[in-house]
Amino acid sequence: MISSIYGIKGVYKTKVKASYCDNCNSSYEWYELIPIVSYFILRGKCSHCNQKLSPLLPLLEIVSGILFAISYIIYGFSYEMIIMIILTIMLVNIFVSDFKYFIIFDKPLIIFSFLVLILKFIFFGFQTFLISVCSGILIFLLMMIIKYIGDSVFKDESLGGGDVKLAMFFGLLLGLRLSIVSLVLGSFLAFPYAIYSVLTGKEKEIPFGPFLISGLYIVFIFMDVVNNFISIIF
Ligand SMILES: [Zn+2]
């Protein structure tokens, strides 16, 4: 089901179903892989061994479907619409993987990074493509420095490797200024959760990925407003 698009496999196997049942290993038929519909056709269970499927799946499929539709309504068929679809898939993917397992998978991140670069080249030409590559590298280096300082100050992992790689994707997509705005916004969004985690002592590790990608999502949608704001300040 949707997990195959989101690259949800491996550690997910026991939690969220991929396009095969990890209880009995049987693969699903095509009609068992239709988003939302299939969950109800299968009555929320594997047709082979009756293992329960995660109700998270149809929910994520519905949310993604709504966000895809909104992207099309707002942008029509355009570069922005394709990027919004990519960001929506990443948003759902990272929300599930980072909140549940404290992991941001490399594979979708690499695939989407290449996809964004190809789109930049097709829609805006070689110069924009080159600027994107440089921005990605610069943001990556900047985050590595922050991580290095953070790690030595806190004597512990301050930023996950996944967060650094995610930030590089921000650089590729939005360039330097907007990706820094996204990262700052993401950190602000994470702040209440971090405080809550510290106060309740519930979690030692705070998943930054979902907040960072939410920041990116918001900045991308309101890019004009953010750009105006930046030009007023600087
Ligand atoms: Zn099964």
Distance 24 CA to ligand 1 centre (A): 4
pLDDT tens, residue by residue, 182-232:
999 999 999 998 888 888 877 667 788 899 999 999 999 999 999 999 899
Distance 100 CA to ligand 1 centre (A): 23
3-state SS assignment for residue 204: coil
The encoded tokens of residue 128 equal 């924009």
> Structure tokens of 154?
């806190």
Q: Is 16 exposed, middle or buried (0-12, 13-18, 19+ CB in 10 A)?
A: buried
The number of folded domains in the chain is 2
Show Cβ contacts of residue 31 under 8 Å, excluding neighbours closer than 6 positions: 38, 41
Residue 82 pLDDT > 90: yes
Identify the band that residue 5 occupies on the pLDDT scale cut at 50, 70 and 90.
very low
pLDDT, tens digit, 9 for 90 and up, residues 123-166: 999 999 999 999 999 999 999 999 999 889 888 777 888 889 99
CA of 27 to the centre of ligand 1 (A): 8
First to last CA, the chain: 47
Distance CA 164, CA 146 (A): 10
Of 38, 58, 76, which residue sits at a domain end?
Answer: 76
The per-residue pLDDT for 84 is 94
Residues 84 and 129 in one domain: yes
pLDDT over 50 at 2, yes or no: no
52 vs 20 pLDDT, higher one: 52
- Contacting residues for 134 by C-beta, under 8 A, at least 6 apart: none
Domain span at residue 203?
A: 78-234
Question: Do 130 and 85 share a structural domain?
Answer: yes
Q: What is the mean pLDDT of residues 159-176?
A: 91
Q: What is the mean pLDDT of the chain?
A: 84
Q: What is the pLDDT of residue 224?
A: 92
Residue 60 has pLDDT above 60, yes or no: yes
Residues 140, 175, single domain; the answer is yes
Judgement on whether residues 123 and 225 belong to the same structural domain of the protein: yes
- Using a pLDDT cut of 70, give the percent of the chain over it: 90
Query: Could you please report the per-residue DSSP string of 160-196?
Result: -HHHHHHHHHHHHHHHHHHHHHHHHHHHHHHHHHHHH
In terms of domains, do 72 and 90 share one? no
Separation between Cα atoms, residue 134 and residue 139, nearest integer Å:
9
Give residue 50 CA to ligand 1 midpoint distance, Å.
6
Please state, in angstroms and as integers, the Cα–Cα distance from residue 184 to each residue in 85, 141, 171, 177, 218, following that order: 23, 16, 13, 11, 12
| % pLDDT > 90, the chain | 46
Same domain assignment for residues 155 and 206: yes
Q: Which residues have a Cβ under 8 Å from the Cβ of 115 and sit 6 or more positions away?
A: 86
How far apart CA 133 and CA 93 sit, in angstroms, is 24
C-alpha 45 – ligand 1 centre gap (Å)? 8
Of 30, 57, 76, at which residue does a domain stop?
76
Of 1-10, 152-161, 175-184, the least confident: 1-10
Give me ligand 1 centre to Cα 26, in Å: 6
pLDDT of residue 203: 66
Decide which of 76, 103, 133 is a domain's last residue. Answer: 76
Q: Are residues 30 and 107 in the same domain?
A: no
User: What is the mean predicted confidence (pLDDT) over 44-69?
Assistant: 85
Within the chain, where are the H helices?
2-5, 37-41, 56-75, 79-101, 106-124, 126-154, 161-200, 209-221, 223-233
How sure is the predictor about 72, in pLDDT bands with cuts at 50, 70 and 90?
very high
